Amino acid sequence: MGAALSLGIALSLASPSSVARSYAVESDVVGEIALATTVGKDTIPDIARAYSQGYQEMRMANPQVDPWLAAEGTEIVVPSQYVLPTAPRDGIIVNVPEMRIYYFPRTKKGAKQTVATYPISIGRQDWSTPHGATTVVSKVKDPSWSPPESIRREHAANGDFLPKVVAPGPANPLGAYALRLGIKGYLIHGTDKPYGIGMRVTHGCMRLYPQDIEEVFRTVPVGTPVRLVNEPFKVGIVNEQVYLEVHPHLGEDNAKFAKPFSLVTQLISSRAGRYDIRLDWKALRTAVYRADGVPHAVGTATSHGAPGAAATL
């Protein structure tokens, strides 16, 4: 039961409880696109929170829907299918432009690898979330917040005078749980403003929904590696299909990603390995132009058994 989305993506009807956060890793792509239906005065942020999606990814997948005034009974695409980032599948990967975390827990001998994924908020353009490798150095339940003087000055300029220490509680911007990273001053934490998840609203830290950070706090051990990457384009190969997932790049990276078609074809070529690649150029251009955060089939990948062979684009 379901509907069809252009570019060959299958949809399934789903309730919030049926959309998983954790998946078995059997290919480069996990999850599936789902459909939800608005009830009463549901808004896009309401549905995003119910399905553990971020605001931006829900807006990109539903550009025709008014985020605040959707009519009752409106079908909403839940973009709960993901091409995995290219970083090593060990510990936490934060794909900054995607505004999403991927957590690969240690796999027990004989067990299948799994990945859990959660939407996040990231730093505003003037307070960018960093890129690079680090680790989880500590975990804190009910953290207090000591805002830096720069943040206190910024708030004061808007008439909001922050104390030197914000005590734990419902008004604490860090929420109920925090993971401190080896990059000084940066945390993965909860929030007192859950409807901001999936937006550029932080001072560089990564915020999660309250229910998601509680799960991350419980499952991620101290010492876990963390890689913060910048991958607006992600490519995966599964069942002899090439999938491309495109997110808008960050505004400060306009020069870096000024030639998206060249970058995407280079990325596909680098992922070819033992495959002969045949691209559907119309589908590829559509996926790049849409930048809707949804994996789209853009070509075929036929195995010829010769590792390292070049792609035929």
State the catalytic residues. Answer: 189, 205
Q: Give the Cβ contact number of residue 223 at 10 Å.
A: 10
Residue 179 burial by CB count (10 A; 0-12/13-18/19+): exposed, middle or buried? buried
CA gap 201, 119 in Å, rounded: 13
Cα 214 → chain centroid: 18
Instruction: Give the rounded distance of the alpha carbon of 253 from its chain centre.
Output: 18
Where residue 126 falls (left for φ over 0; alpha for ψ -120 to 50; beta otherwise) is alpha
> Which residues, listed in sequence order, are joined to residue 100 by a DSSP beta bridge?
95, 119
Residues 6+ apart with CB under 8 A from 69: 43
Q: Give me the phi and psi of 14, to 5 degrees please.
A: -150, 150
Task: From 96, 84, 83, 31, select the one nearest 227 (Cα to Cα).
Answer: 96
Given CA atoms 304, 308, 310, 312 in this order, what sign does their dihedral have? positive
Q: Where are the alpha helices (DSSP H) in 110-204?
A: 149-157
**Radius of gyration, CA atoms only, the chain:** 20
Longest dimension (CA), the chain: 65
How far is residue 165 CA from its own chain's centroid? 31
